[in-house]
Structure 1
């Protein structure tokens, strides 16, 4: 199975470098344009299904991609949602550190996110037995999954960019788009 884990298009929080986490922020105009560009790039290949996280920025990006590919959106899953930043959501990283220090109330640990990401991708891939699946999600979520697959720290993809994987649930390898830290 081929997977394209695509980060949603830009939001106003992305533009302002604010932590959005599980806050349900919509795409901005630039994000919508980015989603259309991602769809055009993906249209050069054969994809069988498109799914997304349950947050509107991912759903909108996935709907744009699915329409370009001539597919129905295959569902949206809370298990694909971004890392929760708790009380720090809406703040910049600097503001969060100034207000709370290194530990932010209600923040999901990176380790918990990584366990959730691996389980979610394996479960969703198993539930969609197709040859090629587009999964629209979030930057830190994608990075957590990629870190697990390759065994070293990576960086999150830019808005509306993807990291590609091949394999089967429980056994993935990166095929394209990985950026080392």
Structure 2
């Protein structure tokens, strides 16, 4: 595990102010993590909003992550919600972790879905290079690829709305690597961080403001992880 998950006190982070209920909220800490390894992760395929299942490795990663969370990173007594993307690689990851933590129910929210990858969904990097020469090297995206700003806006609206229901409790959100990077772009942070499976980032939500915190890795680098972009 890369960090203890303690909330940073010294560094100034950018904030994003979202529209939402005017009722003041108590600050809530929300841990957003990427799902476990899927079959398409293992094959190196762009997933986007396609719905491949977890591999056995992905299920094991979820169990390992639950052990780290239970050991103190996210105390169950402070856990107010577990919420997930409705795509099965995230939903099953969330279900495994919640079962291990003894927490129920797990809620789903489509706003946490991965960015749509347009014509790249289902393709490997080699296939993308062959069919879209120069796109990867230049940072271009194909038709139908959801803009980072749109993905970040829908995900952040979910987190801010969640905070209004938490009343100061913490939450675990299981989503996707592209969504984590989109949130970072929305908050003015570089999007060049590749989130491995079962890694993520803390966020604080307070009065419709979202502030990023520490990056965490729940599965150690010695164990099987993937860094496929989406």
Q: TM-score if structure 2 supplies the norm length?
A: 0.70
1:22 to 49, 69, 72: 49
The structure richer in helix per residue is 1
Please tell me the root mean square deviation across aligned C-alpha atoms, in Å.
2.0
Check conservation: 1:113, 1:144, Cα contact below 8 A: yes
Unaligned runs of 5+ in 2: 1-27, 136-140, 218-230
Q: How does 1:1-181 map to 2 (within 5 A)?
A: 1-45=28-72, 46=75, 47-101=79-133, 102=135, 103-168=141-206, 169-177=208-216
The match for 2:12 is none
Check conservation: 1:35, 1:160, Cα contact below 8 A: yes
Which one scores higher on RCO, CA 8 angstroms, separation ≥ 6? 2
- For the residue of structure 1 that corresponds to 2:187, the secondary structure is helix
Does the C-alpha gap of structure 1 residues 150 and 38 become closer, same or farther in structure 2, counting only changes over 3 Å? farther
| Deviation, structure 1 residue 106 | 1.7
Q: TM-score if structure 1 supplies the norm length?
A: 0.88
Unaligned runs of 5+ in 1: none
From the CA coordinates, give the structure whose radius of gyration is larger.
2
